[in-house]
Structure formats: C-alpha cells, structure tokens
Amino acid sequence: MSTCSDRRLWEQALEGEATAFGELFERHATSVYNYPFRRCGNWATAQDLTSLVFLELWRKRSDISLERDFALPLLFGVTSITEPKVAGESIRGQAEVAGCR
C-alpha cells in the first residue's frame, strides 16, 4: 500500500488510474462495510452497499471533489445516501418472494 494521501489517490483516479482507486477501496472498504452493517445488522446488505458505494464513486468521480485529505467522510456520506435505496429494494424483494406486493 502506498503512503499517498487519499486526496492524491483520488487525483490519480481522476486521471484514470484504476489502481489508485483500487487502493482507496483497499484502505476503506472495511470501514465502509462496518458502517451500514452496524445500522442494519445484515452482512449481505452491508456487502452490497459497500460495492455500490465504490461503484457510484467510480462512475461519478469526475463530478466529485475530495475536500479533505481523508476520504472516509465522503464515503460515509455516499453510504448514507445509498443505504435507503438498497434497504427499500431489499424489502420489496423480500415481499415479492413472500407473495406480497
């Protein structure tokens, strides 16, 4: 793992360096996973959210600027925005499986 700041890795990701984004994932995936897991208690949902958070950041990276040298506040913010969407899809999916609509 490099000693670059999260901000520098983000700048490299903006330049198209997928390895820099991968390093951000390696640094913070556990913290991002733990955040929704503590809130919902479901490991599968927490894994899905972790994947979606990083996917969303990769897709929108050119529109997002990292305001600090540390990426976790941004990651937690994206998680908070994404979590209700995933929870709603999960609830709808469970209801459909149970025959409810």
**4-56 per-position pLDDT tens digit:** 999 999 999 999 899 999 999 999 999 999 998 998 888 888 899 999 999 99
Cβ contacts of 2-6, under 8 Å, gap ≥ 24: 5/69, 5/70, 6/66, 6/68, 6/69, 6/70, 6/71
- pTM attached to this predicted model: 0.78
**Average pLDDT rounded to a whole number, residues 46-72:** 90
Domain range summary for the chain, segments of one domain joined by +: 6-97
Domain 6-97 is found in CATH 1.10.1740.10: yes
d(CA 53, CA 55): 5
Task: Report pLDDT for 97.
Answer: 36
